[in-house]
Amino acid sequence: MAKKDYYEVLGVQKNSSKDDIKKAYRKLALQYHPDKNPGDKHAEERFKETAEAFSILGDDQKRAAYDQFGFAGVEGMGGGQDWSTFRGFEDIFGEGGFSSIFENFFGGGGFRRSGNVRQGANLRYDVEIPFKDAVFGTKIEIQYSHNESCVTCKGAGTADGGGKKTCPLCRGSGQVRHSQGFFSVATTCHQCHGEGYIIEKPCNDCGGSGTQKKRQKIMVTIPAGVENGKRVVIPRQGDAGPNGGPAGDLFVFIRIKPHECFERQGYDLYCAVPISISQAALGADIQVTTLENKKIKVKVPAGIQNGKMLRIRDEGVPSGSQRGSLYIKLIVKIPEKLSRRGKELLEELAKIEGQDDSPKPILLSQFADL
């Protein structure tokens, strides 16, 4: 199921400072706090959503994990908060809370004028694809739910012949000021929910919201060479904006299944191939099956040692008009059982070549160079 990006929930940029994230959270928490919106399920959900986003982005360690791996990086890290733990507005203000009050009192941090066309929310979709599809690219079909602009009212939220009138409580500003002594605090108008207007005759199909929840299928092109954790952006396939505003984007995050034979480092592929003692000693021509199921001829030099790498150019991951390399690690396979004749031949070879019964130890790091 598609889930809203935490930065989108708080309305901040990915490079926003910790203070900016905290300010954005306080503003939204104050707007959607259950004490201010009794019985409003939408406000309650938005408050929980905001608290969850701040619990991740407000913590340096969790934010770093989320930035690198997305939602998968913060699973089990205690994301989300229970709104019932807030005793009241004083918990939301916390440290530096009075500065927010003064900003409202002196007109700072301007309030959004209602009725403006805004872009809809961005959405996230996670997909897992086979290793081979990530290397060479593919097209996949995904299905998800999002808010689409209502066809009947074209996103206006009004029925035929109906219209909008200025909210009599906030007079179109979308906010109501509450004064107590010296202080004045601006809050979202509960009558129009901050929109500044009231729909006199709501659309029957969308109930006045201007959007409808629908499921849709789309084809997504996965580019060749995509890496694990990367994302593909599908413009204008997120939630439709209110008041007929443009839709947000859909972010498709890629997870790659491991392959049974091949591994990847950058644009190079790696695999291991077993060879016999005679092939290693005498040299041989062997056939290796690539990731594309293509048979290629590989020459094994005589006397090659266990663990040595052979490089095959242009058989790796595509990168534009070029490709990386395929590295083959040769594993000399020692037979577990020998025939009588095979044993006789190895014993004869041992007599001819001689054996060192007191080998000198060497550093493990030098093993690959032998």
Q: What does the pLDDT read at residue 123?
A: 94
Q: What is the mean pLDDT of residues 286-292?
A: 96
- Residue 161 in this model has a pLDDT that exceeds 70: no
* Sequence letter at residue 246: P
Min mean pLDDT across 40-49, 74-83, 152-161, 245-254 is at 74-83
Min mean pLDDT across 11-15, 152-156, 266-270 is at 152-156
Min mean pLDDT across 106-120, 244-258, 299-313 is at 106-120
Q: What percent of the chain has pLDDT over 90?
A: 40
Q: What is the mean pLDDT of residues 275-296?
A: 95
Q: Report CA-CA distances (Å) from 69 to 56, 61, 228, 347, 350.
A: 13, 12, 9, 57, 55
- Residue 86 in this model has a pLDDT that exceeds 80: no
Read off the pLDDT band of 72 (50, 70, 90).
Answer: low
- Residue 358 in this model has a pLDDT that exceeds 70: yes
Q: At what angle do helices 41-57 and 18-32 cross, to 10 degrees?
A: 160
| Sequence-distant (≥ 6) Cβ neighbours of residue 98 within 8 angstroms | none
Q: What does the pLDDT read at residue 4?
A: 80
Runs of H (alpha helix) within the chain:
6-10, 18-32, 41-57, 60-69, 89-93, 97-105, 131-136, 277-282, 340-353
Q: Whose CA is closest to 227, among 322, 124, 319, 315?
A: 319
Reported as type and span, the H/E element at residue 9 is: helix 6-10
Is pTM beyond 0.75 here? no
Min mean pLDDT across 84-88, 125-129, 169-173, 350-354 is at 84-88
- Residue 5 in this model has a pLDDT that exceeds 60: yes
Model confidence pLDDT, tens digit, residues 99-131? 343 334 333 333 344 445 678 899 999 999 999
* Sequence letter at residue 311: R
- Residue 63 in this model has a pLDDT that exceeds 70: yes
Q: Give the burial class of 51: count Cβ atoms within 10 A of its Cβ; 0-12 exposed, 13-18 middle, 19 or more buried.
A: buried
Q: What does the pLDDT read at residue 80?
A: 40
Min mean pLDDT across 33-37, 65-69, 132-136, 351-355 is at 65-69
Read off the pLDDT band of 162 (50, 70, 90).
Answer: low
Read off the pLDDT band of 368 (50, 70, 90).
Answer: low
| Sequence-distant (≥ 6) Cβ neighbours of residue 348 within 8 angstroms | none
Q: What does the pLDDT read at residue 116?
A: 52
- Residue 234 in this model has a pLDDT that exceeds 70: yes
Return the residue matching tokens 């003692």.
Answer: 277
Cα–Cα distance measured from residue 169 to residue 199, given in angstroms and rounded to the nearest whole number = 14
Structure token digits, residue 172: 């179109």
Q: What does the pLDDT read at residue 154?
A: 83
Cα–Cα distance measured from residue 190 to residue 169, given in angstroms and rounded to the nearest whole number = 9
Q: What is the mean pLDDT of residues 66-88?
A: 54
The three-state secondary structure class of 204 is coil
Model confidence pLDDT, tens digit, residues 176-223? 887 766 667 888 888 887 778 888 888 888 888 888 999 999 999 999
**Across-strand partners of 155?**
none
Whether the Cβ atoms of residue 262 and residue 131 lie closer than 8 Å to each other: yes
